[in-house]
C-alpha cells in the first residue's frame, strides 16, 4: 500500500499522543473553526516556578496532517519552557514528522498556532502581557507568514505573493500576486481573512488578486 504521508505522520495519525482536555488548564486556545475547515484545541498546565509546560493535551477536528501535527507538538512542547515552546514552528513540527506534503501545510500550521495561542492565553491570564497595542502593517505581515502558499508549502511572505499591503482606519487591503481564477485563490483569501480579521482594531480585510 502507498500513502501520501510519511511513516511517522501515519503513526501519529493512528495513535495520537496526549489527546483530550485538561480540566483546570492554565492556558487553553482553539484555532480555526468548523466553518473554515480544520479546528484544533490545545490545553496546557504550567509549572509556575520554572515556567515550563508540565502537561499538554490537544483535540483535533481535522485531517491526518492536522491530527499528526497536533500530536507531535504536544510531544515537542512537553517539559519545555514557555519561551522554548514559543519557538516551535511549522518547520520544526514538519521535520519532527519526517516531512509533510506542501499542499497540507495550511492544515498543520493550525496546530502550531494552537500551541502559541494557548501560551499567549496563559500569559494574558497571568498578567504577563501588556495591554492591546494598535495593529501595525508589520504585525499584519507577521501574520501573513502563517498563511501557506499551497503551491510551495512556504508562506505567502516568503514566496513573494503579497504585492501590496495597506492599512488605514482599520481597513486592510492586500493584493495577492495570483490571478483571481487561480486554483487556490479562494482558499488563500479565506485564510488571509481568518488570520487578520480577529485583530481587535481591524474592521475589514479586502483581498484582491492581480490581473
Instruction: Give CA–CA dist 180/209, Å, rounded.
Output: 5
How many binding residues for another protein (CB under 8 A)? Answer: 35
The answer to whether 107 is a known catalytic residue is yes
User: Taking CB under 8 A as the rule, does residue 18 contact another protein?
Assistant: no
Q: Is residue 146 a contact residue for another protein (CB under 8 A)?
A: no
Q: Is 63 a catalytic residue?
A: no
Judged by CB under 8 A, the stretch of 31-39, 74-82, 87-95, 123-131 that binds another protein is 31-39
Query: Which of 4, 7, 36, 141 does the annotation list as catalytic?
Result: 36
Nearest CA to 66 out of 12, 24, 138, 134 is that of 12
Binding residue for another protein (CB under 8 A) from 52, 53, 56, 62? 62
Segment lying near another protein (by CB under 8 A), choices 38-46, 74-82, 165-173, 202-210: 38-46
Check binding of 103 to another protein (CB under 8 A). Answer: yes
Alpha-carbon dihedral angle through residues 67, 13, 6, 158, given to the nearest 10 degrees: 0
| Residue 8 interacting with another protein (CB under 8 A) | no
Q: Residue 27 — φ and ψ, nearest 5°?
A: -145, 140
Give the three cell numbers for residue 159.
Answer: 514566496
With residue 195 as reference, give the H or E element that holds it: helix 185-196
What is d(CA 51, CA 83) in angstroms, rounded to the nearest whole number? 9
Q: Which segments of the chain does DSSP mark as H helices, in order? A: 7-14, 64-77, 82-86, 90-96, 105-125, 137-144, 185-196
Active-site hit among 56, 97, 107, 111: 107
- Please tell me the distance from the alpha carbon of residue 3 to that of residue 130, in angstroms, as a whole number: 46
* Residues 153-192 contacting another protein, CB under 8 A: 181, 183-184, 186-187
List residues binding another protein (CB under 8 A). Answer: 1, 3, 13-14, 16, 19, 21, 30, 34-41, 59-67, 103-104, 106-107, 150, 181, 183-184, 186-187
- Give the catalytic positions in this structure: 36, 107
Amino acid at each position: 500500500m502507498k500513502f501520501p504521508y510519511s511513516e511517522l505522520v501515519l503513526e501519529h495519525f493512528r495513535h495520537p499522543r496526549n489527546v483530550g482536555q485538561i480540566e483546570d488548564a492554565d492556558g487553553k486556545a482553539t484555532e480555526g473553526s468548523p466553518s473554515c475547515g480544520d479546528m484544533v484545541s490545545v490545553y496546557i498546565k504550567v509549572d509556575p516556578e520554572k515556567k515550563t509546560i508540565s502537561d499538554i493535551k490537544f483535540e483535533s477536528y481535522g485531517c491526518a496532517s492536522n491530527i499528526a501535527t497536533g500530536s507531535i507538538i504536544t510531544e515537542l512542547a512537553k517539559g519545555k519552557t514557555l519561551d522554548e515552546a514559543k519557538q516551535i514552528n511549522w518547520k520544526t513540527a514538519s521535520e519532527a514528522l519526517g516531512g509533510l506534503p506542501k499542499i497540507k501545510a495550511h492544515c498543520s500550521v493550525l496546530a502550531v498556532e494552537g500551541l502559541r495561542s494557548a501560551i499567549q492565553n496563559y500569559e494574558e491570564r497571568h498578567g504577563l502581557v501588556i495591554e492591546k497595542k494598535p495593529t501595525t502593517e508589520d504585525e499584519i505581515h507577521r501574520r501573513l507568514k502563517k498563511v501557506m502558499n499551497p503551491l510551495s508549502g512556504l508562506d505567502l511572505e516568503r514566496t513573494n505573493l503579497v504585492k501590496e499591503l495597506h492599512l488605514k482606519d482599520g481597513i486592510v487591503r492586500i493584493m495577492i500576486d495570483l490571478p483571481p481564477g487561480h486554483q487556490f485563490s479562494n482558499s488563500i483569501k479565506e485564510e488571509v481573512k481568518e488570520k487578520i480579521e480577529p485583530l481587535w482594531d481591524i474592521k475589514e480585510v479586502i483581498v484582491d488578486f492581480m490581473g
